[in-house]
Structure 1
Amino acid sequence: MSSTKTNKLKILNDPVHGLISIPNSLIFDIIEHPFFQRLRRVTQMGMSNLVYPGANHTRYHHAIGCMHLMQKTIRGLQSKNVLISEDELNAVCIAILLHDIGHGAFSHALEHSIVNGISHEEISLKFMRALNKEFNGELDLAIEIFEGNYKRKFLCQLISSQLDIDRLDYLQRDSFYTGVTEGNISAERIITMMNVVDDELVLEQKSIYSVEKFVIARRLMYWQVYLHKTGVVAENILVNILKRAKELASQKKDVFGSRALRYFLYNEISPSNFSKTTLNNFAKLDDYDVLSAIKEWTHHEDFILSSLAKMIIDRKLLKIEIQEKPFTEVYINKLKTKYKKELGLTDTELEYFVFGDRISNQAYNTDKPIIIFTKKGKLIDLAKASDQLNVQVLTKKVSKYYICYPK
């Protein structure tokens, strides 16, 4: 069918925001691009569906939701006489649409195992630059905003700050799909209360309770969902599976995988050699490659790889203990000695089964404050504007320590 006949102003039905319209043909073409379509096969929440069975939504859902909220936000600011051109509106919508395009399979696991030293933000930028070439420079402004280099600071803040569009969508979406109502914020209300003063993104005073609820919701979602102990242990096992597979591949052993996955297992990928070929292979890699490989690896002759793979497939995970204070050396060594003997492993091999670290959560960071615009025209930090102590309390970084070992 010739492209002239395609209706590019489509409407999508989103369970969280309702009807979402695709604003123009450029954005439609970006969404239709294979790079973006890959996000349908990358879950938004990694292994969280082992805890919350409903958490199967994808990065694609989230990106489209962000674009929708961004459109609403800009239209709202324009109605308050903030001058924003159609080019800027388009660019900021593209920037938020593509902000997560560099996420690997299962969201964060690849970053810590088979693609080293390069973050998903950097990969997102590589995708944006590649798309920009294809679209003859039409993404120039979007990239400038995404990188935080655009002269109008508030547009960059809408992409990345403590109260950005990304967070407004994922808190509401993840709360909806997990069924954890504590995370349910009113993104609509917060967006309606946004304004721009001296090129800074601010929130009008009457939004203060909604913003407080947003900060608290974020804290609760972190402890209850994103850092849930079962999710933490599953994510760690997944990282260890990929690390082990890469280790075996580096020893020239045969490790099953799709073409894209084998590329990353059998090649050392770093920022210096992340080429166009690497990007194209990355664009073909998603949750399906990783999961089908893990299913196959349950039969691998390597004891470590097959044991870890079975844990994920059968959901028979390692035991995890979490506490406020670090675990003592004595306790850690006792566990290591016990399982080293039981499993007959070397010290380095044992690290796949007995390991620990810490998890941290800071709901509100005063270094990059959310600014409240008072009725008297003053600009103050949310932590000072709030008449409740809770926001002040939430500025403290809370850490917990965990250790994982076989049951």
Structure 2
Amino acid sequence: MDKTILKEHQAFIRAELDGVVNFWLENGMDSVHGGVYTCLDRTGEIYSTDKSVWMQGRCGWMFAYLCHVYGVKEQWLKASKSCLDFMEAHCINRDSGNRMYFTVTESGLPLRQRRYCFSEGFYAIANAEYYGITGEQVYLDRAREAYELIYKLNHGLIKDPTGFGPKTIADTRTGRGLGDPMIYLNVTAVLRRVDKEQADLYNARAGECANEIFKYHFKPELGCTLETVSPDGTPQLHHTAGRMVNPGHDIECSWFLMEQANFTGDKELHAKAQHMFNLAINAGWDEEYGGLLYFTDCMGKPPEAYEHDMKLWWPHNEILIASLMAYRDTGDESFYQWFEKTLTYCKEHFSDPEHGEWYGYLRRDGKPTMPSTKGSTFKGPFHLPRMLIMVDQMLEELLAK
């Protein structure tokens, strides 16, 4: 480990973090209606005023998390609260069991609701993180309520109050998705950190999530982790959705599991998470152009998604977190090599020193889609700043050794 190089990496990471945070503070925050706009072009100009509810929660969490890691700055805390207030006023369907919308207008009129519980998950972590900074009980209460709602919905303990059924006709085909236990594990980790009173509950739920991921989705015999499986975990290899692998998702999942393993001291779980990472990155890395493919097929057949061979920002963010975490925890140089390889790719293709932030969407050859974008309904101040914060902290730990 060359500490001179680590210091150079840290300097780059910190400069990028400053640029990213300022990009969103200067261009994304809505001073009129509250909340954040995330449909921003390369220069930060807003190209759509519709607002993603996911991003209200993610942005609310991120600015509070910055305060947690680096100390409270009023501008950060104000931005977090703006997103929290906007969600509370406009993004909750009070007539449908407090399920949350997926998109709303800039003033908060509802546009779209989805069956998935991810809006509620990001709302929960935002409120929990804000409580961790301010100690204001109302935010913890909101986080706890959303956390329980997600659990009940994911485990069929209540009917979805929106009336949405499963994605496919249940009598024909049903299954389970990796996203539910994976995201709930991450939500649990945030709540467990700030809500010590319910530690036993969070420990139990985190364990359930890890067990579910490995019981049903992790398929080393197929060389992958499957996004969708039958209710009993049997692969559905006769159709494209059943064979779909999202390598970036698996890599993100791997570091959620590494964190859980570190929390519990479970070395076996950590080793399994490392295996998950290795399978995903080796299956998804594009040897011809570099970077991680968005989707692959576990049997090498054509993926259904049009964007399967694109390079998106967030899977590369997850590689940087997971590879450095694995290297920090094990000292295995192969993980550090993946970190360096990915960081080099990101510097060359995603980073934009002229305008700040990272391009969201690259073609397979590594060139940004045209016109290029820095934000969308699905891209906002979350994956990238989270990575930059976490990598900065892990580099600090490595430099201290």
The TM tier, using the shorter chain, reads under 0.3
- When normalised by structure 1's length, the TM-score is 0.24
The alignment's TM-score, normalised by the length of structure 2, stands at 0.24
Q: Which structure would you say has the larger RCO, counting Cα contacts within 8 Å and 6 or more residues apart?
A: 2
